[in-house]
Structure formats: structure tokens, C-alpha cells
């Protein structure tokens, strides 16, 4: 696994794309899942040990905030030909095995990852209901082997502040690191 840090270059507006949503096997527009409250876009994949380390917390986090009208979307942008564990068939298996409460999309052309300047998995983007970036970065300080509990604290704190109505003037950036996105050559 190659430790890669998220980009400090960020897009400040949410953008719609049409991607394959693996549980249904259908192409869907992301905007269908955007929330007027806040939207969390997560770049994840199946094989990354950093993502596997936080999967249970992703599910807890989504289950805590989806009832509060915050939406969650997971996107896998990896080259599935070179990394078959990240194929759409395996994404669907992981989706059902783990019970993801959020849609899991496959970014086959990698255009979504390029637009958001995503570089690693896991990497998080939180957008306000108006589509402006509030947060970009990590879930929390926990990584495999560092003995820091997985709490989702960085993402949780931003979502709690959004729910309290606190204005986020400029995006909060707390760089993530994990496996690099597996780019097509």
C-alpha cells in the first residue's frame, strides 16, 4: 500500500455526474442523492486497508446523520481492470455484506475523482445544502496500526456544526492519507 495524502487543491462547488450505482446496477445522477441540508461525498474502495479500517464507522456515521437529512454518497474511482477487487461485482458484494446505508457508485472514467482532485482513499468532502464545500479531508486521526480509536470525529464535528446552523465561511481542510487512487494509464 502506498501512503498518499489528499490534495490541498479543492473544488468549492458540488457537481453532478451520472455514475453506475452498484446495488441497483443502474446509472444514476448523483444530484438525486444530494441533500438540502448537507451532502458527504466519500472516495472509498474495497481493497484499501485504510478504508477497511473505518468501514464500521462509515456505517455508524451515516446511520446517525441520514435521519437528520444529511446524505452520504460513496464513490470508487479505482481502475478495476488492474485491481479486480474493486470491480463493480465486488463493490456490490461489499455493499450488501457490510450493509452500506448509502449509495456506492463506480467512477469508471475517473472524471469525478479528477473533478474533486481526490487523490486517496478514504477522502471526504462535505458540501452545504447550497452546494458549497464546508470540509475536505480525513474521517479522523485513526489509521491501521496507530491505536487511535475510529470515531469519525472530524466529519462528525463538521456535520454537527452544520446542523446547529453555524456558517462555515471557508472550507475546513484536514488532509487525509490512505491508499492512492489507482489511476488508469
Structural domains in the chain? 3-180 (3.40.30.10)
Q: What share of the chain is helix, strand, coil (3-state, %, to 5)?
A: 30, 25, 45
Strand partners, 50: none
Secondary structure (3-state) at 177: strand
In the block, residue with C-alpha cell 456535520: 159
| Cα(60)–Cα(152) distance, integer angstroms | 9
Strand partners, 126: 40, 135
Cell of 138: 480525513
Strand partners, 42: 74, 124
Query: pTM for this one?
Result: 0.95
Other CB atoms within 10 Å distance of the CB of residue 34: 18
91-149: pLDDT as tens digits: 999 999 999 999 999 999 999 999 999 999 999 999 999 999 999 999 999 999 999 99
What value does the mean pLDDT take over residues 56-83? 98
Amino acid at each position: 500500500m502506498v501512503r498518499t495524502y489528499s490534495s490541498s487543491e479543492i473544488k468549492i462547488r458540488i457537481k453532478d455526474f451520472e455514475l453506475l450505482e452498484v446495488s441497483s446496477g443502474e446509472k444514476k445522477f448523483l444530484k438525486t442523492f444530494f441533500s438540502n441540508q448537507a451532502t458527504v461525498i466519500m472516495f472509498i474502495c474495497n481493497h484499501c486497508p485504510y478504508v477497511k479500517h473505518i468501514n464500521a464507522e462509515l456505517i455508524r456515521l451515516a446511520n446517525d446523520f441520514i435521519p437528520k437529512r444529511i446524505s452520504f454518497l460513496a464513490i470508487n474511482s479505482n481502475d478495476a481492470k488492474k485491481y479486480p477487487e474493486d470491480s463493480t461485482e465486488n463493490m456490490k458484494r461489499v455493499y450488501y455484506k457490510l450493509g452500506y446505508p448509502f449509495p456506492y457508485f463506480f467512477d469508471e472514467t475517473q472524471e469525478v475523482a479528477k473533478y474533486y482532485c481526490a487523490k486517496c482513499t478514504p477522502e471526504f468532502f462535505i458540501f452545504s445544502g447550497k452546494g458549497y464545500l464546508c470540509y475536505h479531508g480525513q474521517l479522523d486521526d485513526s489509521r491501521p496500526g496507530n491505536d487511535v480509536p475510529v470515531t469519525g470525529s472530524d466529519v462528525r464535528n463538521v456535520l454537527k456544526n452544520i446542523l446547529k446552523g453555524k456558517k462555515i465561511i471557508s472550507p475546513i481542510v484536514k488532509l487525509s492519507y490512505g491508499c492512492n487512487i489507482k489511476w488508469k494509464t
